[in-house]
């Protein structure tokens, strides 16, 4: 994760081996079924949250392209810095 920075909530990305764009709505998320922690959780774009069955969990290494970068505030930047610091420890 150190080679790329965290994306803000609301970012729309292309995930490798998935045809539709997805919109990120969470970071550092645990998938119930597997118990694994992933960098991001997202929903299909433009549909949004349909049901939990349509949530996509993935890591930053799976992002092929960033179509849209979400809203950024000072609070968002501080949170992303904290996430990056956690990754480096």
Other Cβ atoms closer than 10 A to 13: 23
Question: In the prediction, which pLDDT does 84 show?
Answer: 78
Contact 13, 67 (CB under 8 A): yes
Question: In the prediction, which pLDDT does 38 show?
Answer: 97
d(CA 29, CA 25): 10
Other Cβ atoms closer than 10 A to 25: 17
Provide the residue ranges of all domains of the chain, joining segments of one domain with +.
Answer: 12-87
Question: In the prediction, which pLDDT does 1 show?
Answer: 35
Question: In the prediction, which pLDDT does 73 show?
Answer: 93
Tell me the H-state helices in the chain. 74-87
The model carries a pTM of 0.86
pLDDT per residue of the chain (89 residues) written in tens, 0 to 9: 334 789 999 999 999 999 999 999 999 999 998 999 999 999 999 999 998 889 999 999 999 999 999 999 999 988 888 887 777 66
């Amino acid at each position: 994760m150190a080679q790329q920075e965290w994306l803000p909530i609301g970012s729309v990305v292309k995930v490798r081996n998935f045809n539709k764009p997805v919109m990120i709505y969470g970071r550092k998320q645990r998938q119930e079924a597997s118990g694994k922690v992933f960098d991001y959780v997202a929903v299909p774009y433009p549909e949004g949250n349909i049901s939990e069955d349509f949530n996509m969990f993935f890591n930053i290494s799976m992002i092929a392209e960033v179509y849209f970068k979400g809203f950024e505030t000072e609070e968002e930047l501080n949170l992303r810095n904290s996430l990056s610091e956690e990754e480096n420890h």
